[in-house]
Amino acid sequence: GQQVMQIPQYQHVQEGEDFTTYCNSSTTLSNIQWYKQRPGGHPVFLIQLVKSGEVKKQKRLTFQFGEAKKNSSLHITATQTTDVGTYFCAGRSNYQLIWGAGTKLIIKP
Amino acid sequence: DGGITQSPKYLFRKEGQNVTLSCEQNLNHDAMYWYRQDPGQGLRLIYYSHIVNDFQKGDIAEGYSVSREKKESFPLTVTSAQKNPTAFYLCASTPGASTGIGTEAFFGQGTRLTVV
């Protein structure tokens, strides 16, 4: 079946370091969405990418959608404690949202 | 305010019991979804419904049942056939089944189910 692979599963960073998570789909996607889930909370929509090669920025967050519309990435510059949580990608294909497994951002004490 | 309401927030079930988790939305969304999330894991789709009186099995439907008698309501029943029901259950909705712009998912606060 259709799958979206997301890596890494966890990323430990020092506050101020960068963070990146990657998603790769087995099929071409109509669009891809990114969500953030804080510890104990529910996923909250961050952004949607639709066009091939699209790049969008939200302050320190940069989102990219690949040229073939099969892969995407989220990059956070200079992480802060407020960035802690799990980041999910979700690709839309054939009227379904296919979720990645998420990448947990952990700030080292 | 528009949104999705799940209740209860915490639920304890004895083995052999059926329990029903409530999900209500006032966003006028056509599509609704139930996901299961285990600790440290991603979201797994249990059931979904794109229109009233119609629903489809997701990836892990065994031991669960749903109904969609009203557009705003999509309750999930965890039956005694579900052997490992302890998990975090999330309900979500989207405006419709189309792949168009603005079809992001809105989530409820979730229900934590524990078998005792």
Q: What is the mean pLDDT of residues B70-90?
A: 94
A35 residue type, one letter: Y
> What's residue B101's pLDDT?
44
> What's residue A97's pLDDT?
84
- Confidence band for B15, pLDDT divided at 50, 70 and 90: confident
Q: Tell me whether residues B99 and A30 touch, CB distance under 8 A.
A: yes
Q: What mean pLDDT, rounded, does chain B reach?
A: 90
- Confidence band for A63, pLDDT divided at 50, 70 and 90: very high
- Confidence band for A56, pLDDT divided at 50, 70 and 90: very high
B84 residue type, one letter: N
Question: In 3D, which of A82, A76, A78 has the Cα closest to residue A63?
Answer: A76
Bridge partners of A35, per DSSP, are A45, A88
The answer to whether B41 and B95 are in contact (CB under 8 A) is: no
Q: What is the mean pLDDT of residues B88-101?
A: 76
> What's residue A62's pLDDT?
98
Tokens of B54: 């119609």
Q: Tell me whether residues A45 and B105 touch, CB distance under 8 A.
A: yes
- Confidence band for A109, pLDDT divided at 50, 70 and 90: confident
Q: What is the mean pLDDT of residues B22-40?
A: 93
> What's residue B98's pLDDT?
53
Q: Which residues contact B19 (CB under 8 A, 6 or more apart)?
A: B11, B13, B77, B78, B113
| Residues in chain B within 8 Å Cβ distance of A41 | 109-110
Bridge partners of B14, per DSSP, are none
User: Hunting for tokens 């099995």 — which residue is that?
Assistant: B57
B104 → closest Cβ in A30, A41, A48: A48
> What's residue B116's pLDDT?
86
SS3 call for B22? strand
B97 → closest Cβ in A43, A45, A95: A95
B42 → closest Cβ in A31, A33, A101: A101
Q: What is the mean pLDDT of residues B32-60?
A: 92
With 0-12 CB in 10 A as exposed, 13-18 as middle and 19+ as buried, what is A56?
middle
* Cis-peptide into B8, omega within 30 deg: yes
Of B99, B101, B112, which to mutate for an interface test with A (greatest number of A Cβ within 10 Å)? B99
The residue in chain B having the minimum alpha-carbon distance to the alpha carbon of residue A42 is B109
Instruction: Give the integer Cα–Cα distance in Å for A70 and A76.
Output: 21
The number of C-alpha atoms within 13 Å of B110 and in the hemisphere containing its C-beta is 19
Q: What is the mean pLDDT of residues A47-56?
A: 96
- Confidence band for B100, pLDDT divided at 50, 70 and 90: very low
Residues 67-106 of A with CB under 8 A from B: 88, 90, 92, 95, 97, 99-102, 104
- Confidence band for B109, pLDDT divided at 50, 70 and 90: very high
Q: What is the mean pLDDT of residues B4-28?
A: 94
The answer to whether B25 and B33 are in contact (CB under 8 A) is: no
- Confidence band for A1, pLDDT divided at 50, 70 and 90: confident
Question: In 3D, which of A30, A23, A1, A25 has the Cα closest to residue A93?
Answer: A30
Question: In 3D, which of B23, B42, B10 has the Cα closest to residue B113?
Answer: B10
pLDDT for A20 beyond 90: yes
A97 → closest Cβ in B41, B102, B105: B105
> What's residue B39's pLDDT?
86
